[in-house]
Structure 1
């Protein structure tokens, strides 16, 4: 019986609680209204934020002799967030601030930039946040432009090295082929055109092998040169100009709704406090 009495004492009479809240409805409404109003003030006091996006497609040219092109998207994403890409952008966006007051690259990335790669693609998305639509577009536009320029230069440097390596290999292959042909000619001059002799057959195979190696290198070199002249990185979607009325932040409606919910919770707590006092 005692346990049942305790349970009855601990149980909340919702009807009685509701009557208390209704009796104090002016206070309850004021609590909810004040919390909602504070949330609204905060929502409209927070600085506006706009978002612009640019999309880049990357095709790396990390080639070597006998290798095909390879792509390291994670490395390219880090390049897009590097000092070389971002410092010129920071200097232009924050011209109203002294150099020492401008964000460093790390803080700039955290607050104003998002670089992502949709899984299984060669696409890099550059999403920029700005204080104005113009700032957001400028950041996305210039980060993508700087990235494309630096990445293209890196690819050209890689390809130039590969082509130079092919040229050197072809030069050596020509020399070896000429030496094999000369050795064959010397043998024929001394021993005649004896096709059944083992040495003759060996020299013939060597001449053919050197010639085949040379021809294969020429084909690979031509392919590398064609790829060198190709566009290995390109801007797929240019940075868009955000709509001035379409804020990406702050989420004003959400902040106000949270303020309203907090007000309701405080009002409920106030009602429970009165309920306990009246018990």
Structure 2
């Protein structure tokens, strides 16, 4: 208790000391406030300019199998690109040209790096729940702030467009190689079928054989689609592997094929492909039942893409974002190849059952069906690959629209700088003065007690 009394301060006495030394106390408060105010006026002015941009996923503009294949190629179905875009805006590729321009002719040692420049001059934010990004830049003049904000977005758009088009062009290049092979295979199969028909004078089979051919053709359509998917996915896999520098395959490196969820989704895809092949025996591709089955299949393919990407995310969290996306693309493409191959095997098994019934026909008829089937499959593969290549060319042209500027960088009012905030700095100086004067009064009061 005695110690508490000794340590306690009589507020009345403290107030008395303050009044007795009011000139000093007042001088401390006024001095701190004055210093803060002078500092506020001496500090260089700073201005802010903001650009508002909107992101969008180009895959939303496409539908069906094309969207699923594009998702596998770009990884866009696995996560929103907004966060990646925000980080890329702080990259050296975007910021170095701006820094070089601002510090031209100045001491090179004072030139900041991209990370330091971004920390001191940029504030990039995303409004939660939206695909809007605000790029707020700070500059010593209104013009400098506007220039930084505008050029960050312009440089990013240029970089994003170049990178996307480079990837798409490489994909088109790989697809073109497979198209040439498919074209040659299609021409050869068609020639064999035509030669056989001419030689044996088989041009119009009987009604019973027509029904068998219709059933086989339905399976051939599915087999051709699945082989097209494998070739397109292989092209996507080759692009990712090429950019990664022949890194190990994603599924092997991360045990994706052993993942229970991946196996379950792949099994559902196989079952749905077999179901779709059966529906094609009864209906055309424009029938609502077939369309519904195709939509369900596209959803399953998207689920597979998301799950594979999640496995890579959990296993390679230490990699940078660019490498992570390439690994995802590689793993998703390989998983797609595996699912398409398993589906093809299942559909072929069903087709074999039909062909066993056909074997009772004369050898010439059986050969006729086989050659016709082979020609149709290879023609469909060629057509599908050409369509896929054209879709990628369209996508390449659309990439520049992946980011849209909503509000251009504004020119701040020269009379309204964002910093320094004079009133706030003066208020802080006043508070510091009050605290110092209070400390001074406490010290004086304690001295009087001894």
* Bin of the TM-score, shorter chain as denominator length: 0.7 to 0.9
1:265 counterpart residue number: 435
Q: Describe the SS at the equivalent of 1:114.
A: strand
Which structure 2 residues correspond to residues 95-244 of structure 1 after superposition, within 5 A? 95=104, 97-99=106-108, 101-119=110-128, 122-191=131-200, 193=202, 195=209, 196=361, 197-230=365-398, 231-244=401-414
Structure 1 position 9 matched with structure 2 position 9? no
Question: 1:9 and 1:84 mapped to 2: Cα distance?
Answer: 65
Query: Residues 26 and 140 (structure 1 numbering): CA distance in 2 closer, same or farther, change over 3 Å?
Result: same
Question: 2:108 and 2:24 mapped to 1: Cα distance?
Answer: 51
Q: What is the CA-CA distance between 1:36 and the residue it aligns to?
A: 1.0
RMSD: 3.0
TM-score (norm 1): 0.83
Question: 1:47 and 1:202 mapped to 2: Cα distance?
Answer: 83
Unaligned runs of 5+ in 1: none
Moved over 6 A (4+): 60-65
Unaligned runs of 5+ in 2: 60-65, 210-360
Q: Describe the SS at the equivalent of 2:51.
A: strand
Question: 1:116 and 1:7 mapped to 2: Cα distance?
Answer: 52
Question: 1:99 and 1:263 mapped to 2: Cα distance?
Answer: 40
Question: 1:85 and 1:9 mapped to 2: Cα distance?
Answer: 64
> CA offsets per residue over residues 203-256 of structure 1, 9 Å max, x none?
222222222222322332332233233333433321110122322222322222
After TM superposition, the structure 1 stretch with the greater mean CA deviation from structure 2, 188-197 or 148-157, is 188-197
Query: Residues 232 and 122 (structure 1 numbering): CA distance in 2 closer, same or farther, change over 3 Å?
Result: same
For these two proteins, the number of residue pairs brought into alignment is: 276
Q: What is the CA-CA distance between 1:272 and the residue it aligns to?
A: 1.1
The structure richer in helix per residue is: 2
Contact 1:65 1:162 in 2 (8 A): no
From the CA coordinates, give the structure whose radius of gyration is larger: 1
